[in-house]
Structure formats: structure tokens, C-alpha cells
Structure 1
């Protein structure tokens, strides 16, 4: 466990992952500051990470032992050509991490953890999976490219203490189901509007619980040893989105989800998505042992039973 007086900064603390990380470190007794911008909530500080002057002023007033950089534009569709927010999204993902790393380096003892994604890999059929931390990256779309840019930005800051943590698609407690690409499937399963939904039954995903990732981050922050510069954290249960819908249907007592049909075809829309980006976690297990990943269906049964 980390020291009780450890000072921790969590960016994107209003998001699904950031919120879980923020509370995990608080529960561990750390001195935690949470940052947010568009969705700043009670207890969080509002700061625009793209405003370099404001961020530098913030770091002059505050020092940290760990910065967990969760803030990001996670929606691949946000990077489509012509989207008015595409430039800002690319800046947040690719440029802000490097600036934060420079500021952390100036504080000497501060370690920055940059949350990245399995989408830095192409995940094409026939690829040599699972991908290891040192596997060659080849993102298929702008989201993956910007996250790979963020990786490069933090790793290129000479002398900085950094960890790039790649994770897959995430789920967990969220204010709205639409905040997660997994949680939103619950709303689709429960949809009684008469609308029919085609659901991806092509791409293989490894949904991972944000609470597990948050606890993992607390664990590594308390380790008295040098950490690898790139780490992977992922559950090992493979599902397509259609298969996740089937699980939600069983849990909700709606096994006949006739309004949802499986789509086995390879995506041909403007945003290419990988087929299988499975992350190897063997190297991570050598550092921390058991990753303690939740069983997908068991966690959801317990979580939904409380609602």
C-alpha cells in the first residue's frame, strides 16, 4: 500500500476510470487532488489541460508524488474528418501528456502514469497476439494514432519517471451508461421502443473493470522498485459486443433479445476498428502477481442487483 501522505493528482477525475482511480487513492489514505474540466463536480478542481500557462501555474503551487493521467478523448468517432472538436481531441490525447510529463520531471520525485489503449495496435486477423509491451504499434484510426502520440510524448521526456499503462475497453460504475462503451449495451438490451439494433459480433474485446485498474494503480504506487516504462492491464475474458448483450439479457431476465441482431461482418465505416487487440499481461504479473480481474458476468450480476 502507498504511504498515507502520498500526494496524488488524478486528471479526468470525473470520468468512469478517473473517478474510480480518484476514490481508490482516497480510500488508501493518500492526499488526492482530482482535476476535471467540462464535467467538474463537487470536490474536483476545474482546469483546462490544454491551457499551458494555467497548468504550469497549477504545478508551481502544488507538488505530487504520482500523477495519474486519465483525461482523454476516448470516442474514436470524435476524430472523424470534419468534426469541429477533432483538433482539440487530438491535442488532449497527443500533446497534453508530454507537457504534463515535463512538469512532473521538474518535481524530481513525481511519477506520471499515462493511461493508453490497446488500440495502438492494429489487431488484424493473423496478428501475433497477445501483444507484448514491446510489440510494434500500428494504430488503424486517429484515436489510436493520437494515443500512440501521447505514449511517444511521455516516453521521449529524457529522465522523467513515467509508466505507460495500456488498457482495453472499460466498464464499471458510471453516472450514465452512455459514459462507457460496455455499460451502454445495457440500455440497448432494455430498449423497448421497437427499434432494431445491429450489434458487432466481429471484433473481440476484453472488457476490464475500472475498479480493478484503480486498485492496481494504488498497488504499483506503493511498490519499492523500478517499474517497467510500458505495462499492460487487461482481463482475459474475450467477448464480442453481441455476446456481452446476451449476458446482459440473461442477467436482466430478457434472454430473447430479438431486437438485437448479430453483425458478423468486418466494419467498413469511416472509423476502422481492430479485430483482436489482446494485451499480454505476463510482464505485469511478474511485477505484481495476480491481477485480480473481476469476472465479467459475476460483477454485473452483483452490480445490477443493487440498482
Structure 2
């Protein structure tokens, strides 16, 4: 049955759920994407839309036209929204993902990363909806990589613990759910500061000397590739109930922040001699795993993975709108 957003014009809780703009959604399987204003959420919405799904995205503080404004920490609002829209699949991208922010604002982060996840999983089970929860490689301590889906988590910081608790709440309420763990993401950004990877552009294009971490091994991953994996998981899981549990997806190139910055400089033919490698963790920051590489063989064996885009090509594609030629800025994705 076709559905329009106009049919969802309901205030489930004053100021908590609000229709931003009337929009018609075509027929087809329905997916709801939380955190649709964020880097991954935008990529997921676009991936499902181009594949013929009926998509509705939710946001809150950054909600914009064509999205539903919803406070995911308000249980009544979430319950009303899901029962009204009745999605076939929920992709839960919304999270506080900045480890240092989570350390400083733990209560708010836990409300979103754990309690909101618990509510969504509970309501997804009640509605018979497939629930896909986006988690992180930071559930591991980084001492014995690579990590498979069955390896024991041991997060080093509050962010990792909150996401691990979100995983547990997911399976406690929704045994048929899917958890997809991913590492640090980058992609088409509205501002280079939106991702820890694209934010390196500010260091690269500056002529001032600066230090960059050259200790923690990262596996930068394109959000567009993650979005494709989400779609493939959703399509397969709707047909095959054995597609459940934990999956890993990651880029394959191992790089420190310093090495990423040097690669960005090379991609744009810019100097990198002002970039200085730092081999000690910055004091006062949340502890992070040295190497939390993910073993992604489960997805690959089920033919649900994608070949990650090479970092240099993908990062060039994401950053060219921010080059000094102002004409490029006019076409930046938003």
C-alpha cells in the first residue's frame, strides 16, 4: 500500500515528533533510517532510495525538509511513529559517536546510544520489523587484532561501552536483529569537520606545522560502502531469517591519521612536509584501541559484502568540493 507523509501528520508528544514537510513516498518495502541528517544516515537514505525502497529518515536537532523530527529518547514518540509508519526495516544510525564528547556528556550519550536503542529494538520486535543497529570497532580493546564477530569485546572508553550495551539491548529485545560493526567513517560531507577523516583536510591545506597521530591504526571506511552493505543485509534478511546476529564491515587499508593526511596531500598534489607524526596518545583524550581491525569474513562468505573503494580515490571524491576553487563549493552535497 502506498503511503504519504501526510498520513503521518500526528503529534505523538508535544515538540517531540513533528512533520517537517509533506512528502509523498512511493510504494515498495519501507525503511526507516534514524540519524538521517548524519554522514552515514544520508548515505543509507540515498542507497535505499535509488534501489526502489520507500524511505523515511528521522532527525532531531538538525532535522530538515523531507525528514521527520523525532526525539529518539522519548519512548512514546518512538512507539507512535513506528506503529504509524510501520516500516519493514529500521536502520539505526543515530548515535553520539565522538569518544571525547561521550566522556564529557555521558548521560546524554547513554540516553541515545543505549536507551533509545533499547526502545527501538523493543518496538521493532513488537511490529515484526527487521532491526539493523550500527555499532563500532571500539567495542574491542585493540590488543589482539583482527577481531571476528565471536571474539569477546572489551571496550576501553565510555563510547565503546555504550555501543556494546546498545548491542546487548538490541538482542535482548529483538533476537532476530542484525548488528553491523564498522570503523571510522568518511564520505560526502556538508562540512569537513563532520568526519575525523575529512577533518584532516584542514591540516593538509594549512601551511602551519602540526602533529598528527601516528600510533593508532585505523581502517577508514566510506559511508557509501557501508550503506550498500546495509541494503544488501536488509534485502537478504527479509527473505532469509538466518541472516541475524553480528556482522563486520571495514575498509581494507590500514592507516594512522598521519598516513591518511599524507595520502590526502598526495591526492591533491599538496605538500605534506608540515605534517609531523606523533607516536604518543594525546593527554586528556579518551583512550582508544591501538588496532581494532575487524575480520569481515562472515559478510564475504554470504556474498553480502562489497569491495571497498580505494582510500585515495574515495577521499578525493569527498573532498574536491572543498578545494580552493570556489566553483566546486557550489555543488557540495547536502
Report the TM-score when normalising by structure 1: 0.91
Q: Is structure 2 residue 108 aligned with structure 1 residue 95?
A: no
Give 1:11's match in structure 2, choosing from 34, 57, 62: 34
CA offsets 1:249-305 (integer angstroms, 9 cap, x no match): 1122212331x2110124543410110000000111011255221110122234445
**Alpha carbons 2:90, 2:131 under 8 Å: kept:** yes
One of 315, 318, 323 as aligned partner of 1:300: 315
Superposition pairs of residues 34-73 of structure 1, within 5 angstroms: 34-73=57-96
Alpha-carbon distance in structure 1 between the residues aligned to 2:118 and 2:220: 28
CA distance in 2, matches of 1:271, 1:305: 31
Quick one: distance in 2 between partners of 1:268 and 1:24?
Answer: 39
How many equivalent residue pairs?
294
Q: Distance in 2 between matches of 1:235 and 1:4?
A: 34
In the other structure, the counterpart of 2:187 is 172
How far apart are the structure 1 equivalents of 2:285 and 2:96?
18
Alignment partners' CA distance in 1, 2:178 and 2:277: 38
**Structure 2: unaligned runs, 5 residues or longer:** 1-25, 322-327, 329-334
| Structure with greater contact order relative to length (CA < 8 Å, sep ≥ 6) | 1
- Between the aligned partners of 2:305 and 2:44, the Cα distance in structure 1 is 19
Partner of 1:202: 215
Contact (CA 8 Å) 1:201, 1:240: kept in 2 or not?
A: yes
| Partner secondary structure for residue 161 of structure 1 | coil
Comparing 214-223 with 242-251, which one deviates more in the overlay?
A: 214-223
Work out the CA distance in 1 between the residues paired with 2:114 and 2:305.
31
Contact 2:79 2:123 in 1 (8 A): yes
- Rounded to whole Å, the distance in 2 between the matches of 1:9 and 1:303 is 25
Q: How does 1:125-136 map to 2 (within 5 A)?
A: 127=144, 129-136=145-152
Shift of 1:216: 1.3
Q: Does 1:119 align with 2:138?
A: yes
How far apart in 2 are the matches of 1:146 and 1:305?
35
SS at match of 2:243: coil
**Contact 2:177–2:245 (CA under 8 A) maintained in structure 1:** yes
Distance 2:110 2:33 in 1: 20
| More displaced 10-residue stretch of structure 1: 205-214 or 295-304 | 295-304
Q: CA deviation at 1:76?
A: 0.4
CA shift, 1:228, in A, is 3.3
Q: Which runs of 5+ in 1 are unaligned?
A: none
CA distance in 1, matches of 2:59, 2:113: 15
Contact between 1:189 and 1:257, CA under 8 Å: does it hold in 2?
no
